[in-house]
């Protein structure tokens, strides 16, 4: 009798959980993963003997892992033993491809149909185009993720083993997953600064990061095109690929020409360093091969812009997203040319999508300014550009830092935790969660002109 009562209670809790609005479900889901990860990271059996980390530090690491940011207040390899590092990697993987993906895949593997609630939540997590089927998309995401991370781990292992690096096997697995999930967590305290001239490792890390950041939508779409299931790829895929290409080329050119800290490097190493730093900013992976604190203010500004623009929808990266930036760019272009609609390659972007892009931009900038303001209050002794950079990195879930993360006050750590969490959700998603479920009657209002 008691077992039946307990079972019934659990079923009621699960049922009520799935009755929550999909947007709130996402907000709550990531929060639960952060909390569970935090609790486990606090256990002594996760730590190395000489580890010195506070409870707040463990919360910071858990949030950074689930949000795939990569900002750290303590050394991951110096604080956590192999069990702790495995837990961090699990949190990265869950946060990277969406916490609903694994559960949904288990249902699919058992040939059980997905509940409509689960499909709605997956749509929120991945921001899928209307032409995509959720259950087929999730299966493709899992297969693609495992395949790419496995190949990446093998390539990294070969290079690290050849370089005589101790613990190459575990390091290869950790950095392959961290790269693809654009998490930026590293077992090396100075990231990849010791590998500035290692072209092969730079290319593999960059390749994994680009694949993760470009987004699952693109690869599923291209695969459908190659199979002949669709005549053309979607407008979303075209915009993502072109935006990624142009932003990368422009960023690399500016960094290569203007950054003084790499002037003394040979041209080929200088090009690789420029490429890697622009890549790590755009994909929001957060690795670095040159000290961020040594960069000029002009380069820091370029990186901040790239971090704000960020990766692409349904990918593992953060930021505004390249499609949001492209929609706003198209809006500006159409306004200047006197056109009534925003269009790319002869295809019109729906008006509600343009409004959504504007809303995302406004909410994102608002959170960035608020975060920067409170960080400035808490860290008045630090340079403003370092504070702005840290806030942009946290909200964009990038993980790059000028070197101040480990020395900030507890209040600043809490602010950064909030920014990382909001960055993983997306500020607009968080805002929608506050009003989700409250239907409002449509009221026709009198129009009046507004001077701009």
H or E segment to which residue 9 belongs: helix 2-19
Residue 263 clears pLDDT 70, i.e. is over it: yes
Task: Give me the mean pLDDT over the 6-33 stretch.
Answer: 61
DSSP, residue by residue, 27-80: HHHHHHHHHHHHHHHHSGGGB-TT----HHHHHHHHHHHHTT----SS-HHHHB
Specify if 438 maps to a domain.
no
Residue 376 clears pLDDT 60, i.e. is over it: yes
Specify if 441 maps to a domain.
no
Largest CA distance in the chain: 77
Q: Band of the pLDDT at 21, cuts 50, 70, 90?
A: low
Residue 243: Cβ-neighbour burial (10 angstroms; 0-12, 13-18, 19+): buried
Specify if 27 maps to a domain.
yes
Specify if 448 maps to a domain.
no
Specify if 442 maps to a domain.
no
pLDDT for the residue numbered 101: 53
Q: Domain range holding 28?
A: 2-430
Specify if 133 maps to a domain.
yes
Query: What is the average pLDDT score of the chain?
Result: 83
pLDDT for the residue numbered 17: 45
Specify if 45 maps to a domain.
yes
pLDDT for the residue numbered 165: 87
Which string of b and e fits 144-175 if b means at least 16 CB within 10 Å? Answer: bbeebbeebbebbbebbeeeebeebebbbbbb
Least confident segment among 67-71, 101-105, 345-349: 101-105
Give strand pairing partners of 343: 348
CA angle (287 as vertex; 196, 262 as ends), nearest 5: 40
Distances (CA, A) of 404 to 63, 204, 399, 414: 18, 28, 12, 14
Specify if 436 maps to a domain.
no
- The tally of domains found in the chain comes to 1
Share above pLDDT 70 across residues of the chain, in percent, rounded to a whole number: 80
């Amino acid at each position: 009798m008691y077992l039946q009562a307990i079972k019934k209670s659990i079923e009621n809790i699960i049922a009520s959980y799935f009755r929550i609005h999909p947007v709130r479900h996402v907000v709550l889901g990531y929060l639960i993963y952060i909390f569970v990860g935090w609790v486990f990271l606090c256990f002594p059996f996760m730590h190395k003997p000489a580890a010195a980390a506070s409870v707040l530090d463990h919360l910071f690491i858990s949030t950074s892992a689930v949000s795939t940011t990569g900002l750290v207040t303590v050394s991951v390899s110096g604080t956590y033993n192999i069990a702790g590092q495995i837990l961090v990697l699990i949190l990265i993987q869950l946060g990277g491809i969406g916490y609903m993906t694994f559960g949904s895949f288990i249902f699919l593997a058992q040939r059980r149909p997905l509940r409509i609630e689960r499909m709605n939540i997956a749509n929120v997590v991945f921001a899928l185009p209307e032409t995509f089927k959720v259950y087929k998309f999730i299966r493709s995401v899992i297969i693609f993720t495992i395949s790419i991370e496995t190949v990446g781990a093998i390539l990294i292992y070969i290079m690290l083993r050849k370089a005589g690096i101790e613990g190459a096997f575990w390091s290869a697995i950790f950095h392959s997953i961290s790269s693809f999930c654009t998490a930026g967590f590293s077992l090396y305290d100075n990231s990849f600064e010791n590998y500035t001239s290692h072209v092969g490792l730079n290319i593999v890390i960059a390749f994994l990061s680009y694949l993760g950041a470009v987004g699952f939508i693109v690869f599923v779409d291209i695969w459908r095109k190659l199979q002949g299931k669709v005549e053309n790829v979607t407008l979303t895929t075209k915009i993502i690929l072109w935006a990624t290409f142009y932003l990368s080329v422009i960023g690399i050119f500016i960094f290569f020409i203007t950054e003084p800290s790499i002037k003394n490097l040979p041209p080929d190493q200088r090009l690789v360093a420029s490429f890697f730093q622009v890549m790590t900013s755009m994909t929001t992976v957060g690795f670095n091969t040159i000290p961020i604190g040594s960069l000029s203010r002009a380069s820091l500004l370029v990186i901040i812009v790239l971090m704000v623009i960020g990766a692409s929808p349904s990918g593992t990266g953060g930021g505004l997203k390249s499609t949001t930036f492209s929609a706003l760019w198209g809006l500006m272009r159409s306004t200047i040319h006197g056109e009534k609609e925003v269009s790319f390659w002869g295809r019109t972007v729906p008006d509600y999508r343009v409004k959504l892009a504007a809303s995302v931009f406004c909410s994102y900038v608002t959170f960035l300014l608020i975060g920067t303001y409170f960080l400035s209050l808490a860290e008045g002794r630090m340079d403003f550009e370092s504070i702005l950079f840290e806030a942009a990195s946290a909200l964009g879930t990038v993980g790059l830092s000028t070197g101040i993360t480990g020395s900030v006050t507890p209040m600043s750590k809490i602010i950064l935790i909030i920014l990382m969490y909001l960055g993983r959700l997306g500020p607009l998603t968080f805002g929608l969660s506050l009003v989700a479920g409250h239907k409002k009657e449509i009221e026709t209002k009198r129009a009046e002109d507004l001077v701009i």
